[in-house]
């Protein structure tokens, strides 16, 4: 099968975007694993299936390991730019359907390198929404993982996140916490450091991927955790610096969408055989 794709990246988080309905119907986990293999395939953190269905733009994500997360913040920015640049949508802003529900997006600066804002879903700390096996929300909850004691705040952004502000060995804690039994659907792990007025640094271990250059939902979850634990103010844009670059994240009232703004870039077009 020949797969026509366009490759995008958002702060180094790279994806193969496919918008052919026939290919979308045929592509599954095995094909995604082959395409995303950086030695045997094209290479990427995931495949983004997109287009317009019954008049509504949509996005579906398949990770590099073949799993299907509910949401991908950097992927949303890439898909929004792809749909806008390709003429699939003309409204500004427009709503993009995902497995985590609709998200409003705004392409502020179209082009090969775009500036895209996303109104993410409202965050939740409720254990049932992550899911998390706990009787109450985790806010700086002390736990032990991989022989390390750390405090964790658990946040759902439509997908599950565990955020810690403690200095711990990330290479050991990340993969261990991802598969911790208290998170029955596994969890993304955010490591916050260098907290300062107006922002902080962040590294994210993504479930099914490992450490990546950037994670949009992870940046949102970390900003929510910082606000909920009193480390950052509510209602102000926070500059979250990931290995691939910065995102601007604004956490409003608890029931309000989290706003994320950052770049997305078209890298190249291609055809691969799987």
Dihedral pair phi/psi, residue 216, rounded to 5°? -65, -50
Q: Is 72 part of the annotated catalytic residue set?
A: yes
* CB-based contacts of 204, cutoff 8 Å, min separation 6: 188, 189, 190, 191, 211, 212, 214, 215, 218, 219, 242
Choice among 36, 78, 215, 220 that is catalytic: 215
In the residue annotation, 215 being an active-site residue is answered as yes
200: which residues sit within 8 A by CB, 6+ positions away? 192, 193, 194, 222, 226, 232, 238, 240, 241
d(CA 31, CA 15): 14
The answer to whether 188 and 160 are in contact (CB under 8 A) is: yes
Catalytic residue, chosen from 36, 72, 78, 220, is: 72
Three-state SS sequence of 164-225: ECCCCCHHHHHHHHHCCCCCCCCCEEEEEEEEECCEEEEEEEECCCEECCCCHHHHHHHHHH
Q: List Cβ neighbours of 162 (8 Å cut-off, separation of 6 or more).
A: 138, 152, 153, 154, 177, 183, 187, 188, 189, 190
Tokens encoding 48: 């983004």
For residues 27 and 1, give the distance between their C-alpha atoms in angstroms, rounded to a whole number: 9
Residue-by-residue DSSP string for 105-131 = EEEEE-SSEEEEEEEPPPPB--GGGTT
Just list the catalytic residues: 72, 215
């Amino acid at each position: 099968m020949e797969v026509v794709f366009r490759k995008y990246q958002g702060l180094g988080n790279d994806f193969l975007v496919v918008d052919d309905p026939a290919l979308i119907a045929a592509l599954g986990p095995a094909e995604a694993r082959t395409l995303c293999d950086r030695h045997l395939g094209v290479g990427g953190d995931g495949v983004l299936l997109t287009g317009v269905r019954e008049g509504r733009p949509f996005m579906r994500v398949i990770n590099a390991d073949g799993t299907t997360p509910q949401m991908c913040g950097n992927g949303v920015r890439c898909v929004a730019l792809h749909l806008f640049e390709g003429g699939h949508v003309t409204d500004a802003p427009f709503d993009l359907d995902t497995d985590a529900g609709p998200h409003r997006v705004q392409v502020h600066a179209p082009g090969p390198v775009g500036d895209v804002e996303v109104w993410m879903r409202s965050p939740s700390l409720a254990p049932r929404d992550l899911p998390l096996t706990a009787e109450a929300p985790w806010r700086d909850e002390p736990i032990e993982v991989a022989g390390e004691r750390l405090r964790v705040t658990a946040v759902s952004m439509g997908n599950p996140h565990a955020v810690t502000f403690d200095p711990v060995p990330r290479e050991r804690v990340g993969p261990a916490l991802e598969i911790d039994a208290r998170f029955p659907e596994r969890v993304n792990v955010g490591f916050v450091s260098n907290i300062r007025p107006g922002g902080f640094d962040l590294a994210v271990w993504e479930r099914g991927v490992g450490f990546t250059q950037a994670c949009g939902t992870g940046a949102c979850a970390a900003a929510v955790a910082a606000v909920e634990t009193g480390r950052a103010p509510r209602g102000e844009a926070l500059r979250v610096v990931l290995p691939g670059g910065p995102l601007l994240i604004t956490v409003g009232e608890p029931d309000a969408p989290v706003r994320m703004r950052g770049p997305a870039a078209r890298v190249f077009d291609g055809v691969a055989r799987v």
